[in-house]
Amino acid sequence: MELETTEQRILDAAEELFYGRGIQSVGMDAIRTASGVPLKRLYQIFSSKDALVEAYLRRRDARWLHDLARYVDAHDSPTQRILALFDWLYRWFSEPDYRGCGFINSFGELGATSQAVADIAKVHKDAFRRYLADLVAAADAPAWLTDQLVLLAEGAMTTAAISGSPEPARHAKDAARTLLRAADANVVTAA
């Protein structure tokens, strides 16, 4: 139990610091100070900063996808679920500590030098795409819509981080609505 609690304290501190300041600018001493875990104990749990970064990203991946699905799946119709994704993004972008997608950020910092970080970012983005593909299939929309919705969401994440505004989520939602209408028209025309 103590190991699990200590590990969670370390990961909580790492997430706040890595996401808030960037991975490369945060040393293990800062993690030690923020977590209150002695450096020796920190290294017993995470043998290196690389191991800590990988654990942080894996935990963030699981939590992010879970939180998204919980919000989106609470909506009734398949089309509402697709549009709700952008409402969830708006809520996320509105958080005072929003700094963009942690996976895009970490890939930008370390993707060229850390294959593990590049792989974790790719796995996360692939899982997000599969989730959207499932939403599109449930809405009986054409499969081509998936990649367009992914690009809208990813672009909104980056634009919101750079602009400091949650509005890109609303713009992306409007574009998604237009794409859904076009897809529906294509389905009707093809029938």
Least confident of 32-36, 162-166, 185-189: 185-189
Average pLDDT over residues 69-83: 96
Q: Is the pLDDT of residue 167 over 60?
A: yes
pLDDT, tens digit, 9 for 90 and up, residues 93-124: 999 999 999 999 999 999 999 999 999 999 99
Confidence at residue 4, expressed as pLDDT on a 0 to 100 scale: 84
Show the tokens assigned to 53. 């970064």
Confidence at residue 191, expressed as pLDDT on a 0 to 100 scale: 39
Q: Give the global pTM.
A: 0.92
Residue 35: closest CA among 25, 24, 46: 46
- Give the span between the Cα atoms of 146 and 122, in whole angstroms: 17
- Give the span between the Cα atoms of 138 and 152, in whole angstroms: 19
- Give the span between the Cα atoms of 134 and 153, in whole angstroms: 15
- Categorize the per-residue pLDDT at 189 as very low, low, confident or very high, splitting at 50, 70 and 90: very low
Q: Is the pLDDT of residue 3 over 60?
A: yes
Confidence at residue 185, expressed as pLDDT on a 0 to 100 scale: 65
Confidence at residue 186, expressed as pLDDT on a 0 to 100 scale: 57
Confidence at residue 188, expressed as pLDDT on a 0 to 100 scale: 42
Residue 86: closest CA among 189, 182, 171: 171
Confidence at residue 151, expressed as pLDDT on a 0 to 100 scale: 98
Q: Is the pLDDT of residue 14 over 60?
A: yes
Confidence at residue 158, expressed as pLDDT on a 0 to 100 scale: 97
> Within a 10 A sphere around the Cβ of 131, how many other Cβ atoms?
17
DSSP 127-191: HHHHHHHHHHHHTT--THHHHHHHHHHHHHHHHHHHHT-SHHHHHHHHHHHHHHHHHHHHHHHH-
Q: For the chain, what percent of residues have pLDDT higher than 70?
A: 96
Average pLDDT over residues 131-154: 97
Average confidence score pLDDT of the chain: 94
> Cα torsion at 25, 31, 34, 38 (round to 10°)?
-150
Average pLDDT over residues 81-86: 98
